[in-house]
A and B are shown apart, each in its own frame.
Chain A
């Protein structure tokens, strides 16, 4: 069974530039999560999707961050414009219909560096 796929794995951009991250969850997983992980810290939830509906986006900085999950499968997380403080690893995870916040399967992450 294929795991959660994320791309790109690494991204280096200048500040004020836009950037987008893509995630393909495990087939059949209707819950998808985006997390941000700073160095030496645990992941922090940005947004959770149930199918195509964003059910928890309270931690998403909506002035510059946006996300979408068209057709309830793949998802894209965008930052526009990026700031120096956005440098971090962006993780995508998915879980089965057994319910949210049960076992989550994580992708390898996208390491973003903003210069």
Chain B
């Protein structure tokens, strides 16, 4: 069963704009991670946020976590063409295995 679900499934924005994608999950978690996958390339870890954290930054990335709503958001500021990729949230439930969502396909338009 799918633990994490990203929203939207697909997103197209102009270069320079900000991109926001969301992830909802069902059960309590240890941590939530975001990964990026470019076309034809492997998955790359972007950021990990633990259940006791509410916000985390890494360069142009900002991740929030709301455990009461069981949701997380990933914000990419000042988007670039190289940000075109699929973005996956992965949840690590307590005492269970990690589960990836289906992903958000982000397309940055020139």
Contact = CB atoms under 8 A, between A and B. Distances in A.
A and B interact: yes
Q: Is the interface of A mostly helix, strand, loop or mixed?
A: loop
Interface in A86-115: 91, 93, 101-109
Contacts of B35: 106
A101 B42 contact: no
Q: Interface size bucket, A side?
A: 20 to 34
Interface residues of B, number: 21
A105 B45 contact: yes
Contacts of B92: 101
B48 interface: yes
A103 B97 contact: no
Most buried by A among B31, B43, B48, B90: B43
A108 B42 contact: yes
Contact of B31 (A40, A101, A106): A101
Interface of B: 4, 30-31, 33, 35, 41-45, 48, 88, 90, 92, 97-103
